Each structure stands twice: as structure tokens, then as C-alpha cells.
């Protein structure tokens, strides 16, 4: 019996939490690195009022990795719909309260992780307040994460201000020690890449000997990845890391019925196309599977169990002597 495989996942609240609900079922030592650049909704108000990093994405990841009674997780995720706390999830308020008690956002996240019996470690990329900015193809600069997608322009690159924002040292250490680094699924420019443009994070990823895996989105996102193929997603990440980093990409190959796609077309979204030759040219192994994307209540989403199984099988083939048991 050997030491558990160390896996670092990088992303934001919604997409990353889907992956983690599946991945936590396997004998892996998981560290989730989570963006805190959200400036909209409840997170934005708490960030503005209390001068702390945004708690929303952190809350979703804690909930995904938690091992508690379902009612406790449901309470943690419960969002008030009236009164002065309208729009605030209980978990956001609890993280804010813990930050006020302990005087440090990362400490608050650690305490909440213990309370919710998290399987793994949840880390904000930075303990500082960070603002995400996007430079569009025409040179226009959009300030604030919540405004980027709404702008509807073609994004060239994103960056964080102020420049003095420091990385969480625990994040840098986790990347150094990782056996595997997984990015995605999730919003490309507003959930995944914001982590990479915090100083020293990309440098540590480039230096890491870990195998790098990208779980590509099933659908494009209007205002962010219009007309993007799988390779376009990869190239965007490589551009911000300044190196071709990935060893493996997992993509959906299921074709969805027009009855399902019609509502997505109204939102200017379409399935992400797999461009095999371009992926091969980058030297990246491609795993495509019909069960990566599924339809649930007329909504297309990732199949957390299948994606996690594909990742774990890849790890087994890569480092079989380091695994406890396959199940």
C-alpha cells in the first residue's frame, strides 16, 4: 500500500464542483485551487461590504467535497429569497463570519472545511482581493469578472489587478507536490484562467513534473468562448501559462438532439467541436467519450462519474503502483 496520488484541481465553483463530486469517490489526495475573482451577486456584495475575497466559488467547492448529512449541505447552500439577506447563500455568510472571527480568509476556509468534513483541501488562489480584467480583440478593456461575459466581445487575454496580489503559498506548494494537475470544466476566462494569472502560479505549473489534464466544456459560452473548439480552449490556457502544458484532454463526443440544442441556440451556445488534428499536433492525448456530456432535466452538463472514471483509469495506466485499489 503506497501513498495516495496527489491531485490538484484548478477552476471555479460550478464546473469544478461537478468534477469534484465524482473525483472524491476515489483514493486520491485532492487539493482544489479556487478562484476568488467573482464580483457579482452575493459574493460581490460580501466582497465589497467586508473587504474580503469572494466566497461563492469556495462555498460551492466545499459543498462538493463535503461528507456530511445531506440536510447540512443543503443548509450550507441555501439561498435566502427575502429580507435584507435576500440572494445570500448561508455558506457565503458563514465564510464571511469565519473570516471576521479569524481575521484571515484562508483560515476561514480551513475552519469551514473542517466543519463540513471536506474530503481533501480547498484553497483560494489568493488571500487578497483580486479584480479580473479582460482585454478584447479590439483593445477594449472590460473590468470586473461579472462584466466580461456580458460585454459579448472576443477576448484576447485576461489579467488580475492590482499587480501586487500575492498567491496563496499553500497553492504554490500543492502545485509543486502534485502528481496530476486538472483544469476544468468551467468558464474558461472567468473560472479557470483567473487562477493562472495570479503571480507565480503559471510559473509553478510550468515547472511541475505533474501530468496536466484538461476537461473541456461540453458547450460554448456566449461572450466568452463563442465558436471555440476543444483546441481553442487549450490554446487559450497555453497562452496565459506561456507554454503548451497539457498531456491529456477529455472531451464530449455525444451528439445531442435538436430538441435539446434549440434552447442553447437561443442563448448563442453550441456543442464544442473536437478538432482531432490540431489536438494531435500539440502532442496531447485525446480521450473522447459519448458519456462525458449528459442531458439532465433538459440541461446539458458533465457526467461527473464518467469524467472521474476516465481520469482515474488514466492515472491507473500511468502510475499503477501508486494506487490502492481501482474502486
Residue spans of the domains in the chain: they are 1-35+161-326, 39-124
pLDDT at 68 over 80: yes
For residue 14, the model assigns a pLDDT of 87
For residue 319, the model assigns a pLDDT of 74
Taking the C-alpha atoms of residue 174 and residue 31, their distance in angstroms, rounded to an integer, is 7
pLDDT at 323 over 60: no
Taking the C-alpha atoms of residue 192 and residue 11, their distance in angstroms, rounded to an integer, is 4
CB 234 within 8 A of CB 282: yes
Residues 1-35+161-326, CATH architecture = 3-Layer(aba) Sandwich (3.40)
For residue 1, the model assigns a pLDDT of 39
Q: How confident is the model at residue 3 (pLDDT cuts 50, 70, 90)?
A: confident
The reply to whether the predicted model has a pTM over 0.75 is: yes
For residue 25, the model assigns a pLDDT of 95
For residue 324, the model assigns a pLDDT of 46
- The pLDDT tens digits of the residues spanning 167-225 come to 999 999 999 999 999 999 999 999 999 999 999 999 999 999 999 999 999 999 999 99
Taking the C-alpha atoms of residue 183 and residue 294, their distance in angstroms, rounded to an integer, is 20
pLDDT at 117 over 50: yes
For residue 153, the model assigns a pLDDT of 93
Task: Please give the distance of CA 281 from its chain centroid, rounded to a whole number.
Answer: 26
For residue 28, the model assigns a pLDDT of 97
Taking the C-alpha atoms of residue 289 and residue 293, their distance in angstroms, rounded to an integer, is 8
Taking the C-alpha atoms of residue 155 and residue 149, their distance in angstroms, rounded to an integer, is 9
For residue 143, the model assigns a pLDDT of 96
Taking the C-alpha atoms of residue 168 and residue 27, their distance in angstroms, rounded to an integer, is 26
Residues 297, 10, 41, 47: what is their CA dihedral angle, to the nearest 10 degrees? Answer: 160
Residue 91, φ and ψ in degrees, nearest 5: -60, -40
Q: How confident is the model at residue 246 (pLDDT cuts 50, 70, 90)?
A: very high
Amino acid at each position: 500500500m503506497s501513498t495516495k496520488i496527489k491531485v490538484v484541481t484548478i477552476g471555479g465553483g460550478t464546473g469544478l464542483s461537478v468534477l469534484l463530486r465524482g473525483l472524491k469517490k476515489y483514493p486520491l489526495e485532492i487539493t482544489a485551487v479556487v478562484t476568488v475573482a467573482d464580483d457579482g451577486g452575493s459574493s460581490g456584495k460580501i466582497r465589497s461590504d467586508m473587504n474580503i475575497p469572494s466566497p461563492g466559488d469556495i462555498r460551492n467547492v466545499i459543498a462538493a467535497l463535503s461528507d456530511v448529512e445531506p440536510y447540512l449541505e443543503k443548509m450550507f447552500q441555501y439561498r435566502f429569497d427575502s429580507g435584507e439577506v435576500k440572494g445570500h447563500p448561508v455558506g457565503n455568510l458563514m465564510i464571511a463570519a469565519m473570516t471576521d472571527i479569524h481575521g484571515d480568509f484562508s483560515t476561514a476556509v480551513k475552519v469551514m472545511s473542517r466543519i463540513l468534513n471536506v474530503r481533501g483541501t480547498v484553497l483560494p488562489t489568493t488571500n487578497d482581493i483580486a479584480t479580473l480584467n479582460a482585454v478584447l480583440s479590439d483593445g477594449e478593456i472590460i473590468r470586473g469578472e461579472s462584466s466580461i461575459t456580458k460585454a459579448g466581445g472576443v477576448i484576447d487575454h485576461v489579467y488580475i489587478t492590482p499587480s501586487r496580489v500575492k498567491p496563496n503559498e499553500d497553492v504554490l506548494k500543492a502545485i509543486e507536490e502534485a502528481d496530476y494537475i486538472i483544469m476544468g470544466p468551467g468558464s474558461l476566462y472567468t473560472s479557470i484562467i483567473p487562477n493562472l494569472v495570479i503571480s507565480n502560479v503559471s510559473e509553478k505549473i510550468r515547472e511541475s513534473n505533474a501530468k496536466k489534464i484538461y476537461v473541456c466544456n461540453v458547450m460554448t459560452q456566449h461572450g466568452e468562448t463563442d465558436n471555440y473548439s476543444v483546441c481553442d480552449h487549450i490554446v487559450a490556457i497555453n497562452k496565459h501559462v506561456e507554454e503548451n502544458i497539457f498531456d491529456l484532454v477529455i472531451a464530449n463526443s455525444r451528439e445531442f438532439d435538436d430538441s435539446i440544442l434549440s434552447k442553447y441556440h437561443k442563448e448563442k451556445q453550441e456543442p464544442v467541436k473536437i478538432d482531432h488534428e490540431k489536438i494531435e499536433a500539440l502532442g496531447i492525448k485525446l480521450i473522447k467519450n459519448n458519456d462525458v456530456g449528459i442531458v439532465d432535466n433538459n440541461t446539458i452538463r458533465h457526467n461527473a462519474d464518467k469524467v472521474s472514471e476516465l481520469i482515474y483509469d488514466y492515472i491507473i495506466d500511468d502510475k499503477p503502483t501508486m494506487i490502492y485499489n481501482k474502486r
